[in-house]
Structure 1
Amino acid sequence: MIRDLSCEDLRPVCDLLRSTQDAHASQYPCIYRSVDEDSDLLGIIETQMSHPGAIALCHVQDGTVSGYLLAVISDVSSGGILVPRRIAMLNEIAVHEQHRRQGIADKLMEEMIRRALEKGASAVRASHAVFNQASARLLERHGFLPVTMTVERDLN
């Protein structure tokens, strides 16, 4: 079942965010750091949930949070070079390892897209780490196409 994320869900979501952050930190330690303090993770989640354009969802299975999604809708103005529009930015999505390959991420994405449309968004934007092929496949299944590419060269 998909529902709005609530304060009671913060602990399991924090655990999922930690595992995602650790996976990123192990692949790219020069970019991502491991987070030791729960308060840091809770701050990330609470900041996104408190945004006026927040879409904060969780999937609950057998009374347990099995996945979550955090997105924020905002009006983007270009300063003159891009078309101003309302965009939903997918910031976080994760599914507990034991619940993967059951379509939970797809259900979270479908609900987020539905709500973004309801709130007048004209697009959803997302990014993923290059190593994260599961995220790449998820985004592709939902019609996401590359628009810009960010590259980086480490100078250390």
Structure 2
Amino acid sequence: MDLIDIPPTDAHRLVPLLQKLQALHVTHQPGRYAANPSDAALTNWLGDWLTDESLTARAAVSPTGAIMGYIIYGIEERPALPVRRAETRAMLHHIAVADSWQRMGVGTALIAEMKRAVNAQGINIIATTYAPFNTASAALMARMGLRPVMTTAEWRGES
């Protein structure tokens, strides 16, 4: 497996995995997530998002060049507040692994590479969010040393 950078012009390569991830979220939280976004809409959004220079998109590719999984993370500068210390952290926004490559170390390799890259920049904090129904993400995060530090709750009234 090779790990490669995904520039904004290659955003389309991530869309099949993003569609699957989106469908999982829609299944469990349909009131929160838009169902069935088009590939074009996702490609445009992802391509625009990845132009942000604070973001990094990396993909694990098979020997045939197929995308096995991807990770998108950004660097955030958080100023000090009276109630919180200042910090620079890496925020893991997305991670997805193709079904056929799950439980083969792809997600682990992606996060390990992220840890190496941000640590080389002097950053030793990684944060992420994941939905409570996504037990695979929760297990991967725990294996990689990310521990829950807060819980976010929502109320959504009828529209």
Q: TM-score, normalised by structure 1?
A: 0.91
Q: 1:95 aligns to what?
A: 97
CA-CA distance at 1:46 after TM superposition: 2.2
Q: 1:123 aligns to what?
A: 125
Q: Is the 8 A contact 1:35 1:41 kept in 2?
A: no
Q: Which runs of 4+ in 1 moved over 6 A?
A: none
Q: Is the 8 A contact 1:16 1:96 kept in 2?
A: yes
Q: 2:136 aligns to what?
A: 134
Unaligned runs of 5+ in 2: none
- Secondary structure of 2:145 counterpart: coil
Unaligned runs of 5+ in 1: none
- Secondary structure of 2:68 counterpart: strand
Q: 1:147 aligns to what?
A: 149
Mapping for residues 10-21 of structure 1, pairs under 5 Å: 10-21=11-22
Mapping for residues 5-154 of structure 1, pairs under 5 Å: 5-7=6-8, 9-61=10-62, 62-154=64-156
Q: Count residues with an aligned counterpart.
A: 156
Alignment deviations for residues 11-45 of structure 1 (CA, whole Å, 9 cap, x no partner): 23011101100110111001111242223312342
User: 1:21 is aligned with what amino acid?
Assistant: Q
User: 1:34 is aligned with what amino acid?
Assistant: A
CA-CA distance at 1:7 after TM superposition: 4.8
Q: TM-score, normalised by structure 2?
A: 0.89
Cα RMSD, aligned residues only: 1.6
Q: Is the 8 A contact 1:90 1:126 kept in 2?
A: yes
Quote the sequence identity (%): 27
* d(CA) in 2 for partners of 1:44, 1:120: 30
* d(CA) in 1 for partners of 2:65, 2:40: 24
CA-CA distance at 1:47 after TM superposition: 3.7
* d(CA) in 1 for partners of 2:8, 2:157: 41
